[in-house]
Amino acid sequence: MPTTQKATSSNYSAATFFASLGPGILMAAAAIGASHLVSSTRAGAEFGWQLVWVVLLVNLLKYPFFAAGARYTAATDESLLHGYLKQGRGYLLMFTCLNTIAAIASTAGVCMLTAAMLTQFVPLPIDVLAFLVLVSSLAILILGHYQLLDKMTKVIMLALTLTTLIAVALAWQHYQAPAITEVAESPWQWAYVGFLVAMMGWMPAPIEVSAWNSLWLIEKKKTQTVTSKQAIFDFNLGFIVTAILAVVFLALGALVMHGSGEVFSNSGAKFASQLIDLYSDVMGEQSRFLIAAVAFLCIFSTTVTVIDGYSRTLDIGWQLLNNQQDCAKRLTRVMLLVSALGLGLILFFKGALLPLLEFVMTLAFLTTVIFAWLNLRLMTSEALPEKHRYGIKMKLLAWFGLVYLVGFSAVFIYWKLAIQ
């Protein structure tokens, strides 16, 4: 084959490969928000490297439940919500009711974090900035639809990943152990149960994101052919990226902030400034503006993704429950309603970012058990062709994950009652 033909073929293959990515990368964008920038970084800053194995374990144990979205849709060309309905109307109703609560809480959490990042550029109150973030997100979704979200997210994700990897590499190169004689505080104390549960709630993301992945895959198939192999590869790539970056963000907190005596502030604006300081301390003060811009765009893309994902699942859920037809206007109304209620929750917390995020993440952890069980039930159902059902290895991993999630939920409830 001539050289030019080889180059053309190579470029075509690369372009085709990049274009085939989408739902899995969107899932990663949804994940790399509060769970990574906040929880992983705080875990490293406050406890050093002690929670690395917890971060990796939680990602592993949740894998079967997240994978259900891509695997079920790739096998059936239907969304997870259609699968829930086939299991029984009550299952879809339970998912949709819990998803409604999660949608409002999660939208509020990521929107306030985005507004906090925006305070680095715009000197306005955080509730005003949150309103502007919501309006901008809705404009992108209503005018640009899935295609714009798909393209925008890939570029932002690549920029954040490269920036964070460079920051951690520089921090590792210049790292000097803090001059402290006392033993680092252990996270395995009753006082930190709430933090551990919050961290695991959105690690790597709420499990209902699996339903978003399912719907995004259907949207992707409307514009191009996506094979089952491509869909599963795209999901696995996105999931592995989220797990690796969770450790990377923890490393950034451990290398730069741990042992310094500084703790993250509850104030949204102050927290954003501290987070940018982690990067600029190792990359130079001259990089501060660039890092702030990349971090803002990352969290902004998360907000857009969260509004889109939750709104789609709520719209399809109520549509299937009421036997209605597709309606673009109804999806827009759902987006507006979720955003308005999310803004109301932001106003209730009055700019206190970390308390809001801990509330949202804890809620996610407690509902995770139900969402996980629904996905496992669907992927082991006889209604699914046998070759597409979970095998013995995935079943064992999933049941071990359920036991872990139920056990830690029970510990949290006991702890919550004990401190009342």
CB atoms within 10 A of CB 388: 13
pLDDT higher than 50, residue 5: no
Paired strand residues for 166: none
Q: Is the pLDDT of residue 356 over 90?
A: no
150 pLDDT tier (thresholds 50, 70, 90): low
Instruction: Band the pLDDT of 11: cuts 50, 70, 90.
Output: very low
For position 179, what pLDDT does the model report?
52
Position 396 pLDDT exceeds 50: yes
Average pLDDT over residues 160-171: 78
What does the pLDDT average to over 352-358? 81
pLDDT at 52: 94
Specify the range with the lowest mean pLDDT, choosing from 93-97, 171-175, 190-194, 313-317.
171-175
- Percentage of the residues of the chain whose pLDDT score is greater than 90: 27
Q: What is the pLDDT of residues 245-289, one digit of tens each?
A: 889 889 888 888 887 777 777 777 788 888 888 778 777 777 788
pLDDT for 152 equals: 67
What is the pLDDT, as a whole number, of residue 254?
A: 87
Question: To the nearest 10°, the Cα dihedral for 218, 220, 222, 226?
Answer: -90
State the average pLDDT over residues 83-90.
92
pLDDT in tens, 48-79: 899 999 999 999 999 999 999 989 998 888 99
Identify the pLDDT of residue 21: 60
Mean pLDDT computed over 316-325: 88
**Domain boundaries along the sequence of the chain:** 24-178+199-418
Q: What is the pLDDT of residue 181?
A: 45
Considering only the top CATH level, what class is 24-178+199-418?
A: mainly alpha
Calculate the average pLDDT of the chain: 82
pLDDT over 80 (residue 2)? no
